[in-house]
């Protein structure tokens, strides 16, 4: 089922994700398209929308807290030597059109606008693929092009003075349960050891589900992961980890993240095997 405002992703005929293109949200949440709910093949929801702890967390999508000073993440802005501050600097991602829209994916064009002007033009490609009878893969690529006549740069709270908060780019707000999920990579365990470091893949394991995130290009794999488990469950990439990411006029930044969505609690070997299947050459 589709409408002008929603698209339902399907795998093997089963709905696994609802994509909202024109959400009605207050400006301070930095309105943007999102996927929610995303579910396992058995129907377990593995995303959250506008939870009480962070109302600006919107399922799965692309969010950046600082594009030349404008907030496309939502909520407060981290100001150097001042901390999180309410500012009237929120941008919005506006759906233009689908170049392609099928039950298993779409190609979308979006405008990133703030203060009445367009800063970035995005092409977003999303595809859903069956891996096994208990796992499927969500493949998301975004390309951001500077459409202004001057240079832009992408920042994060980390580049603005808050250590450990280099979020911005792909972001997945996961299901919150009574116990915090476990997180691990091929060689590390726990939030402290995996957060802020690059890894070919990273798994978040809940009570009856596992998400395995993988950078699907060499450039994407160089971005460190942003990981939270105790405060809230969320995983994202870090476009601006230690320094701002410059984006000259007409230039484009591209990232691709593939996420395995699995029923059950996968171990390392199973997670790695599914990633290999999902991220094919």
- Can you list the domains of the chain with their CATH numbers? 6-279 (2.70.98)
- Mean pLDDT across 138-154: 98
The model's pTM is: 0.97
pLDDT (mean) for 215-225: 97
All residues at 6 or more sequence positions from 116 whose CB lies less than 8 Å from its CB, including other chains? none
The answer to whether residue 2 scores a pLDDT higher than 80 is no
The pLDDT of residue 143: 98
- pLDDT for the residue numbered 3: 52
Using alpha carbons, select from 128, 129, 126 the residue that is nearest to residue 108. Answer: 126
Band of pLDDT at residue 42, cut at 50, 70 and 90: very high
Q: Kindly report, residue by residue over 243-270, the tens digit of the pLDDT.
A: 999 999 999 999 999 999 999 999 999 9
CA 99 vs CA 107, 114, 147, 191: distances in Å: 5, 24, 19, 38
CA-to-CA distance for 79 and 87, rounded, in angstroms? 10
> Residue range 230-242: average pLDDT?
96
Confidence of residue 68 (pLDDT cuts 50, 70, 90): very high
147: confidence class by pLDDT, cuts 50, 70, 90: very high
164-179 pLDDT, tens digit each: 999 999 999 999 999 9
Q: Is 215 exposed, middle or buried (0-12, 13-18, 19+ CB in 10 A)?
A: buried
Beta-sheet strands, E only, within the chain:
6-11, 14-20, 34-38, 60-67, 70-72, 77-79, 83-85, 92-102, 105-114, 117-132, 135-146, 152-155, 169-173, 182-185, 201-205, 209-215, 225-228, 234-237, 245-247, 252-263
pLDDT over threshold 90, residue 218: yes
The pLDDT score that the predictor gives to residue 280 is: 78
**pLDDT tens-place string over residues 83-99:** 999 999 999 999 999 99
Give pLDDT, residue 281: 61
* The pLDDT value given to residue 97: 97
pLDDT in tens, 98-117: 999 999 999 999 999 999 89
The pLDDT-based confidence of 4 (bands split at 50, 70, 90) is low
pLDDT of residue 5: 86
């Amino acid at each position: 089922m589709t409408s002008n405002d929603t698209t339902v992703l399907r795998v093997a005929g089963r709905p696994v994700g609802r994509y909202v293109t024109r959400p009605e949200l207050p400006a301070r949440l930095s309105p943007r398209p999102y996927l929610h709910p995303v579910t396992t093949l058995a129907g377990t929801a593995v995303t959250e929308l506008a939870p009480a702890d962070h109302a600006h967390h919107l399922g799965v999508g692309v969010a950046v807290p600082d594009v030349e000073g404008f907030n496309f993440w939502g909520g407060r802005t981290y100001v150097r030597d001042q901390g999180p501050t309410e500012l009237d600097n929120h941008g919005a991602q506006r759906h233009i059109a689908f170049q392609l829209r099928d039950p298993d994916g779409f190609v979308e064009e979006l405008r990133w606008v703030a203060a009445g002007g367009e800063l970035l033009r995005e092409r977003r490609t999303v595809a859903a693929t069956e891996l096994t009878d208990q796992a499927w893969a969500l493949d998301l690529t975004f390309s951001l092009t500077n459409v202004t006549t001057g240079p832009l740069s992408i920042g994060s709270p980390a580049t603005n003075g808050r250590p450990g908060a280099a979020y911005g780019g792909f972001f997945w707000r996961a299901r919150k349960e009574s116990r915090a999920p476990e997180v691990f990579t091929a060689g590390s365990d726990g939030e402290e050891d995996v957060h802020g470091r690059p890894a070919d893949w990273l798994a978040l394991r809940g009570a009856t589900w596992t998400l395995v995130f993988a950078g699907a290009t060499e450039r994407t794999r160089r971005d460190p992961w942003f990981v939270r488990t105790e405060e809230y469950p969320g995983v994202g990439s870090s476009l601006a980890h230690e320094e701002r990411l410059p984006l000259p006029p007409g230039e484009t930044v591209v990232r691709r993240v593939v996420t395995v969505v699995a029923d059950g609690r996968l171990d390392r070997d199973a997670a790695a095997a599914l990633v290999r299947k999902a991220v094919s050459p």
